[in-house]
Amino acid sequence: MVTGGKPRRILILGEGFSHDPHYGKTMRGIIRYGPDPVVAILDSARAGETREGIPIVGTVNDALCFDPTVAIVGVATQGGRFPPAWRELLKSCIAKGLDVENGLHEFISEDPELMQLATQFGVELRDLRKPPADLNVPTGANLELDTKIVLTVGSDCAIGKKTVAVELDLEARRRGLESVFVPTGQTGIAIAGWGIAVDAVVADFLAGAAERLVVEGVERGGRLLFVEGQGSLVHPMYSGVTLGLVHGAAPHAFVLCHLAGSTEIEGCPGHPIPPLPVLVEIHERISLPRRPAKVACIALNTSPIESDDEAQAAIAATEAEIGLPTDDPVRFGAGRLLDAILTRL
Contact track, its own copies, 251-280, x by CB under 8 A: -----------------x-xxxxx------
Q: Give the C-alpha separation, 26 to 53, whole Å.
A: 17
Identify the residue among 45, 65, 141, 203 touching its own copies (CB under 8 A): 203
Instruction: Please report how close the Cβ of residue 273 comes to its own copies at its closest, in angstroms.
Output: 8
Which one, 86 or 205, has the nearer CB to its own copies?
Answer: 205
Give the interface segment with its own copies, choosing from 6-14, 75-83, 108-116, 312-320 (CB under 8 A).
75-83
Please enumerate in sequence order all residues whose Cβ is within 8 A of that of 338, keeping only pairs 6 or more positions apart, or say none: 168, 171, 172, 175
Separation between Cα atoms, residue 257 and residue 252, nearest integer Å: 16
Q: Which span sits near its own copies by CB under 8 A: 65-73, 90-98, 244-252, 306-314? A: 244-252
Q: What is the DSSP string of 54-70?
A: EEEESSHHHHGGG--SE
> Residue 245, interface with its own copies (CB under 8 A)?
yes
Q: Which is nearer to its own copies, 45 or 278 (CB)?
A: 278
From 173-181, 200-208, 217-225, 299-307, span contacting its own copies (CB under 8 A): 200-208
25-33, 72-80, 118-126, 166-174 -> range binding its own copies (CB under 8 A): 72-80
Helix (H/G/I), strand (E/B), else coil: 154:
strand
Residue 64 or 288: which CB sits closer to its own copies? 288
H or E segment at 187? helix 186-192
User: Can you tell me which of 66, 121, 194, 238 binds its own copies, judged by CB under 8 A?
Assistant: 238
Beta bridge mates, 220: none
The answer to whether the CB of 295 falls within 8 A of the CB of 245 is no
Dihedral (C-alpha) 94, 99, 104, 108: value to the nearest 10 degrees?
Answer: 50
Scanning residues 39 to 68, which ones bind its own copies (CB under 8 A)?
A: none
Distance (Å, whole) CA 218 – CA 151: 15
* Greatest Cα pair distance in the chain: 61
Compare residues 10 and 227 and give the one whose CB is closer to its own copies.
227
Binding mask 86-105 for its own copies (x = CB under 8 A): -------------------x
Question: Of residues 281-320, which lie at the interface with its own copies (CB under 8 A)?
Answer: 281-282, 285-286, 288-290
Q: Which of 160, 208, 222, 329 binds its own copies (CB under 8 A)?
A: 208
Binding to its own copies (CB under 8 A) within 177-196 occurs at: none
Is residue 185 within 8 A of residue 154, CB to CB? The reply is no
Instruction: Check if the beta carbon of residue 344 is closer than 8 Å to that of residue 253.
Output: yes
Stretch of 37-45, 83-91, 187-195, 236-244 lying at the interface with its own copies (CB under 8 A): 236-244
Residue 194 and residue 185: Cα distance in Å, rounded? 10
Beta carbon of residue 158, minimum distance to its own copies (angstroms, whole number): 14
* Alpha carbons 165 and 33: distance in angstroms, whole number: 11
Do 266 and 222 touch, CB atoms closer than 8 A?
no
In whole angstroms, the minimum distance from the beta carbon of 271 to its own copies comes to 5
111 binds its own copies (CB under 8 A): no
Q: Examine residue 233 and tell whether it contacts its own copies (CB under 8 A).
A: yes
Residue from 1, 45, 65, 137 in contact with its own copies (CB under 8 A): 137
Comparing C-alpha atoms, which of 80, 74, 259 is closest to residue 163? 259
> How would you list the strands of the sheet with 294-301, edge to edge?
179-182, 224-227, 148-154, 253-259, 294-301, 326-327
234 binds its own copies (CB under 8 A): yes
Q: Least separation, in Å, of the C-beta of 242 and its own copies? A: 8
- How far is it, in rounded angstroms, from Cα 176 to Cα 178? 7
Interacting residue ranges for its own copies, rule: CB under 8 A: 78-81, 105, 136-138, 140, 198-208, 233-248, 250, 268, 270-274, 281-282, 285-286, 288-290
